[in-house]
Amino acid sequence: MVSLLAHAQGLVYTLLSLMPSNYQRDNLQAMLGLFLEARGCPLPEHSKVKSASALSRFLNIYDWSTRSVIRTTRARIVQQILSECSKGRKPCLQVIIDLTTLEKFGKFKEFKNLISVYNGKRGLHLVVVYLVVGQWRIPWNFRVWRGKGTTSPARLGIKLVKTLPQSLTKHFRVMILADTAFGSVEFLHAIRKLKYHAITGLSRNRKLVDGRRLKLLHQRGQQVWLVGLKFPVSISWYYLKRNDGKKEKRFVLSTKPLKSSTINWWGKRRWQIEGWFKTAKHRFGLHRFGQGTLLGVYRWLVLSLIAYVLAHWAYLSTACDDLPDWGQAAQIAVQACLPQMVMLSIFWTLDKKKIVRE
């Protein structure tokens, strides 16, 4: 797996080559270095090698192609995932869709229409597509949900699924995993039209065509007809332990006929994205953006996700028998991909010690 670390290094060098000047290349390295400190607070003012104003201009003003950075990163990701595909039966690609809130306080005049309250949380609400295949964990795409009265999270989820590249979908059996918010009739019909299978959460009060509520079912795994759906679905449920120690009954829907135990297994797999949300926020500062422009916020989110990918590749390049130590993985990524930042950081530390002694 050492070659995987080399590919991470190659990705960084390619991204640096996309920058229009040496000055911007240095800024990009500085920002990635901040994110890869993996302390959850990669603010520009914490940089040891660049001023906060320089990094702010890099994110909000300077002309470099964010789209090219995204395309290059995705191409590398696809290349690496496909290189791990074995011959024979197609492996399963888990496409997990969920909504997360990047909580924010204060006023944001430039993008106040994007800040709203959802489930008691005020902030920027992202619908995220997260890919899982084998040991790979990749945040693939996101859209901002603008609040009530706008395009629903379910419709945004459909748009995101449609952006999955054929280079991936034709090599895998695609399984869509989503929360209750994505179990709408429109979402399920769209997924079926794309010829994918879906496992989604389901409200206990959803109606069957015979007038009953879902909560009145007693047999797991049975096929039922839900109001509004043009095809039967399989229903099961499991009990999720809450923080207060009580168990909550969670219903799960499968568009593919499966055993109840299999449906429950897939239904629980959706929770993988919740762990990633915590990692992305508390390790790689996804929610710590404080930029004054939409472009600055967008670039912040993109660079944060790229930093996670680099750390994830660094983790996979080790034995990876245990749960990830994201601090260690990020340090490996910095040493392999940003040696210049390591040296500058060392010089900064030595200068600081010299000043203190004097």
What's the whole-number average pLDDT of the chain? 89
Q: Which helix (H) or strand (E) holds 326?
A: helix 326-337
**Strand locations in the chain (E):** 92-103, 116-118, 121-133, 136-145, 173-178, 197-202, 223-224, 233-241, 247-254
- Entry pTM: 0.91
- Contacts of residue 268, defined as CB under 8 A and 6 or more positions apart, other chains included, come to 238
pLDDT in tens, 331-342: 999 998 988 776
pLDDT in tens, 150-204: 999 999 999 999 999 998 998 899 999 999 999 999 999 999 999 999 999 999 9
Neighbours of 231 (CB within 10 A): 11
Neighbours of 88 (CB within 10 A): 6
User: Going by DSSP bridges, is the β-strand pair 173-178/136-145 parallel, antiparallel, or unpaired?
Assistant: unpaired
Helix (H, G, I), strand (E, B) or coil at 51: coil
Yes or no: say if 233 and 255 are a contact pair by the CB < 8 Å rule: yes
List the pLDDT tens digit at each of the 358 positions of the chain: 457 888 999 999 999 999 999 999 999 999 999 999 999 989 999 888 899 999 999 999 999 999 999 999 999 999 988 876 666 678 899 999 999 999 887 777 777 788 888 888 888 999 999 999 988 999 999 999 998 889 999 999 999 999 999 989 988 999 999 999 999 999 999 999 999 999 999 999 999 999 999 989 989 999 999 999 999 999 999 998 877 778 889 999 999 999 999 999 999 999 999 999 999 999 999 998 877 788 999 999 999 999 999 999 999 988 666 788 999 999 999 998 988 776 656 544 544 554 444 4
Yes or no: say if 225 and 232 are a contact pair by the CB < 8 Å rule: yes
